[in-house]
């Protein structure tokens, strides 16, 4: 008997998310000149299309912005002055990829995509460009829409990256949780992070 655990996909708490960007972008939002960050719509976005945040990790957001400032490409342009923008996020109805039910939905979406597409994209080397993952997640959202099921407002996933923290460790120095916000109403406010 297949159990339906979908009633547990709504998260009642708020989380802090951090976005690495150029200072002009962050200051425009904090100064009220811009309402929201622009959603990313690349075909290689790890969690599908939306606005990306590092969950509870401002240092990782800053490292991302600093890497782009050193010459790495950013989907919205180059970063000249690394900046971290904080956000208060209500996860709402969340496709939490740390949950068994969500992972089963992802498998089902892959089956649908495989049945409808003659050639599937692949994830890039070292899985930094995740075209397959993006296509599967977008297919999941499309399928839910067609079935008139409630829309996922956010997507949350854990990623293992970098070198081992110590020899033989099960933890790497760039492991993180990312949040992709699809519904702008989930962002309850932006703030300038404080640090010591």
Residue of 129 and 187 predicted with greater confidence: 187
Number of other residues whose CB lies within 10 A of the CB of residue 75: 12
- Residue 2 pLDDT: 64
Would you state the pLDDT for residue 173? 93
**Residues counted in the chain:** 196
Q: Which residues pair with 96 in a beta bridge?
A: 156
Average pLDDT over all residues of the chain? 92
Q: In the chain, pLDDT over 70 holds for what percent of residues?
A: 92
Contact 150, 144 (CB under 8 A): yes
Instruction: Report the share of the chain in percent with pLDDT over 90.
Output: 83
Q: Pairing mode, if any, of strands 82-96 and 10-22? A: antiparallel
Quote the crossing angle between the two packed helices 100-116 and 131-146, to the nearest 10°.
90
Q: Is the pLDDT of residue 77 over 70?
A: no
Instruction: Please give the Cα distance from 92 to 13 (Å, whole number).
Output: 8
Give residue 146's Cα distance to chain centre.
23
- Residue 1: per-residue pLDDT: 60
Q: What is the pLDDT of residue 64?
A: 93
The secondary element (H helix, E strand) that includes residue 95 is strand 82-96
Q: Give the separation between CA 188 and CA 13, rounded to whole angstroms.
A: 12
- Compute φ and ψ for 14, nearest 5 degrees: -105, 150
Judge whether residue 125 has pLDDT over 80: no
Joined together, the tokens standing for residue 184 give 């702008």
Q: Which residue's entry shows tokens 């409630």? A: 150
Contact (Cβ atoms closer than 8 angstroms) between residue 28 and residue 34: yes
Collect all residues with Cβ–Cβ distance below 8 Å to 67 and sequence separation of at least 6. none
CA distance 150 to 118: 28
Give residue 73's pLDDT band: very low, low, confident or very high (50, 70, 90).
low
**pTM of the shown model:** 0.91
């Amino acid at each position: 008997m297949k159990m339906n655990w979908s009633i547990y996909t709504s998260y009642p708490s708020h989380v802090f998310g951090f976005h690495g960007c150029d200072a002009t972008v962050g200051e425009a939002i904090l100064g009220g000149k811009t309402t929201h960050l622009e959603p990313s719509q690349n075909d290689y976005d790890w969690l599908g299309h939306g606005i990306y945040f590092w969950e509870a990790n401002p240092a990782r957001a800053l490292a991302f912005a600093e890497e782009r400032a050193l010459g790495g490409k950013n989907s919205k342009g180059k970063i000249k002055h690394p900046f971290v923008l904080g956000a208060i996020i209500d996860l709402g109805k969340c496709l939490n990829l740390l949950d068994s039910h969500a992972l089963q939905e992802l498998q089902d979406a892959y089956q649908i995509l495989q049945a409808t597409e003659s050639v599937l994209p692949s994830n890039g080397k070292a899985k930094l460009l995740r075209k397959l993952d993006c296509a599967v997640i977008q297919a999941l959202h499309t399928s839910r829409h067609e079935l008139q099921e409630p829309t996922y407002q956010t997507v949350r996933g854990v990623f293992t990256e970098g070198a081992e923290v110590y020899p033989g460790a099960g933890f790497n120095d760039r492991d993180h949780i990312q949040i992709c916000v699809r519904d702008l109403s989930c962002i309850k406010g932006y703030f300038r992070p404080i640090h010591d």
